[in-house]
Structure 1
Amino acid sequence: MSVGPTINIYESVFAQTDKTDAILVVQGKKLHVNKALLSCHSDYFDTLFNGDFKEKSMQEIPINNVKFQDFATLLSLVHPNPIKPTEQNAEKLLELADRFLLSAAKYHLEYFIISTNFTANKKLELAGTYDLENLLVHVLKSFKTKEELVPTKRFSGFSANMKAKILDRQIELNKVVRDRNPWRSEFSESFTDRNTEIPKYYYRAERNNNEAKYSSQSRGDMGCRPS
């Protein structure tokens, strides 16, 4: 009994059915897709399939500069049976979701990344780079001190909204420090006052004592005695 060729998970998800009506070719491998489904989820594919371009009439449309496994995983995220992303390819998939304008795939990836073991700084970087607000809210809560939430050069590329949320969290953390140690600033101010005022008082008192001592000695030299 002969054994047929093994069908991998990617070929299984994108096998030809009566619902597929287009073929995308990546690295020589075919993905059978539904035009309406992809067009609904992505302006990129809506233009590709329905715009005035040569691809509209092509039976097989090549997709370049992308790996087959990554692209298939990305497209599967808007299908009924998605291929689960991994910590190894999640960042690449976010990049591709941006490139192919698949916001639904980004949403799926955002919640996957929340559940990963990525460091807080890595999650913050991804949230800011790909404008993932839910991920940002999640990761900002993990910063417990203002020293942990230190801006890096990557922050400069974040949207104004993302920067504002990070700043709000920094302000909250500063307030937490003040609320937990309300005496610190007062003590610091009082200590500063003592450092500035006590020496003045000390020198003033010492000067008065010296003047009194000199006056007493002068009276003694003149034969004066206190009554």
Structure 2
Amino acid sequence: MLLTIVFTCDLDSRRMSNDKVAQNNMVSPSSSISLMSSGDEEVARLRDQIRLLSTEMTTLRRDYNGLKERMEADKLSFSEHLFSLTLPTVTLADTPYLNEPVELNGVNVILYGAVITNSEGVQQLAFWCGMRSSSSFDATLISKCAIVGYSNAAYNTGPFTEIIRLKEESSVMSRRHIAGVWNNIKANLTNINVKFTIKLVRPFNPSTISFDDGDNYVTITLGDETLQVNTPYVSEWSNFLRAYFSSDMKERAAGVYPIEDCPITDFREMLDVIYPTSKPIDIWNVEKMLELADRFIMPMLTRKCEVFLNDGYKHNFTEIQLLIMADKYNLFLTRTNVLEKLISTTLLRSKIIKTEGYGTLSYEMKRAVDARYVELDVQEKP
């Protein structure tokens, strides 16, 4: 009996204790609904963020793969060929060409040679390339001529860099290499060997882009100012802006695309250069154009800058200044031109290695300089 009473009291006390706990932990129905609704809203918000990030990741992955493919294709567009001939085997005055056509990146290249008379009546030996292509894509040509055995030394011309405008099934001639006075060369004819080196870089994209003057414009903001740009045209120049304008980010819905840390004057200058107005590259804008071309992934703008930099008549940049720009913006043609025009170790030391700017060059660029130094050193040794 006592046991039963004690057990019953203990059970009652436990029940009362449980009731108190439940009472203390009790939440009003309105509070419960509020907590549930706020939790659902947070989950929905997170799901929207995940969906948006997934879309952005898909877009970025697709653009990355596209750029990777273009980079691989660009590597394949570079080719080099060395023509080597002995002058006694060639009748320059009557021979229309000096070799059978060589195909480089879809371009048939023929080496021509002739004895020409300059304006002063002096006969000179000249070489140049003739090119024919079945497709009208541009090509960048670097050509260099070396005559070994001329006056007991090597006579070098070039390298010359030029953009060749190729039209379908029509021949284009490159710049002439004037290889010296013909009478002096004839006196040493039996010992003379000619080496004519060409490097052809061919980006497989059209040389012109049609400008759409319809309603295909978007608004970009640069700081507090806005600017209208032609979407299809600018997208053909810039891989970055193409991806930006076609992404599913919130900017597309708003129709306004912000660009950070870019003064509107610089962006307008870039548009003046790439639009059909074709403002020329000059010493005042070339570095800024290289910077924007690198930032917005604009290979055609980079090439326009390189064409300017490789024409020594249009600027007064020093060799080290050109090499620093080539290093910073990965300008292969400029690097090649600068190093190959330095034809002695003395020039390489004075214009590159002993300058203050040499220390700022990357490890890869210094390796290229070292390789050129070794090449020249071997040539200079008896």
Find the counterpart in structure 1 of residue 342 from structure 2: 143
Task: Point out the structure with the larger strand share.
Answer: 2
Tell whether the 8 Å contact from 1:21 to 1:32 is kept in structure 2 after alignment. yes
Corresponding residue to 2:360 among 143, 154, 157:
154
- Answer yes or no: is 1:176 the counterpart of 2:372: no
Over aligned residues, Cα RMSD in angstroms? 2.5
> Residues 69 and 112 of structure 1: is their aligned pair in 2 closer, same or farther, counting only changes over 3 Å?
farther
The correspondence of residues 24-173 of structure 1 with structure 2, limited to 5 A, is 24-115=220-311, 116-146=315-345, 147-148=349-350, 149-150=352-353, 152-156=358-362, 160=364, 162-163=365-366, 165-173=368-376
Q: Which moved more, 1:121-130 or 1:24-33?
A: 24-33
Tell whether the 8 Å contact from 1:78 to 1:104 is kept in structure 2 after alignment. no
Find the counterpart in structure 2 of residue 195 from structure 1: none
Q: Gaps (5+ residues) in structure 2?
A: 1-211
Secondary structure (helix, strand or coil) at the match of 1:77 reads helix
Provide the rounded CA distance (Å) in 1 between the counterparts of 2:368 and 2:284: 28
Provide the rounded CA distance (Å) in 1 between the counterparts of 2:254 and 2:366: 44
Number of matched pairs: 161
Find the counterpart in structure 2 of residue 201 from structure 1: none
> Residues 138 and 19 of structure 1: is their aligned pair in 2 closer, same or farther, counting only changes over 3 Å?
farther
Task: Point out the structure with the larger helix share.
Answer: 1
The TM-score normalised by the length of structure 2 is 0.38
Provide the rounded CA distance (Å) in 1 between the counterparts of 2:306 and 2:223: 27
For each residue in 1:188-222, what CA deviation from the matched residue of structure 2 results, as whole angstroms up to 9, or x when unmatched? Answer: xxxxxxxxxxxxxxxxxxxxxxxxxxxxxxxxxxx
Partner letter of residue 376 of structure 2?
A: L
> Residues 124 and 145 of structure 1: is their aligned pair in 2 closer, same or farther, counting only changes over 3 Å?
same
Partner letter of residue 140 of structure 1?
A: L
Provide the rounded CA distance (Å) in 2 between the counterparts of 1:61 and 1:79: 20
Provide the rounded CA distance (Å) in 2 between the counterparts of 1:62 and 1:77: 21
Provide the rounded CA distance (Å) in 2 between the counterparts of 1:156 and 1:170: 17
Tell whether the 8 Å contact from 2:327 to 2:362 is kept in structure 1 after alignment. no
Shift of residue 142, structure 1, vs aligned partner: 2.9
Find the counterpart in structure 1 of residue 46 from structure 2: none
Partner letter of residue 26 of structure 1?
A: L
Secondary structure (helix, strand or coil) at the match of 1:106 reads helix
For each residue in 1:121-145, what CA deviation from the matched residue of structure 2 results, as whole angstroms up to 9, or x when unmatched? Answer: 1001111111101111111133233
Provide the rounded CA distance (Å) in 2 between the counterparts of 1:46 and 1:111: 25
Tell whether the 8 Å contact from 2:219 to 2:229 is kept in structure 1 after alignment. yes
For each residue in 1:26-78, what CA deviation from the matched residue of structure 2 results, as whole angstroms up to 9, or x when unmatched? Answer: 34444322222222332311221111211222333232211222112223433
Tell whether the 8 Å contact from 1:77 to 1:108 is kept in structure 2 after alignment. no
Q: Which moved more, 1:42-51 or 1:25-34?
A: 25-34
Partner letter of residue 166 of structure 1?
A: V
Partner letter of residue 155 of structure 1?
A: L
Secondary structure (helix, strand or coil) at the match of 1:111 reads helix
Tell whether the 8 Å contact from 1:78 to 1:105 is kept in structure 2 after alignment. yes
Provide the rounded CA distance (Å) in 2 between the counterparts of 1:88 and 1:177: 39
Percent identity over the alignment is 27
Provide the rounded CA distance (Å) in 2 between the counterparts of 1:108 and 1:154: 25
The correspondence of residues 206-221 of structure 1 with structure 2, limited to 5 A, is none
Shift of residue 112, structure 1, vs aligned partner: 1.6
Find the counterpart in structure 2 of residue 196 from structure 1: none
Provide the rounded CA distance (Å) in 1 between the counterparts of 2:254 and 2:278: 27
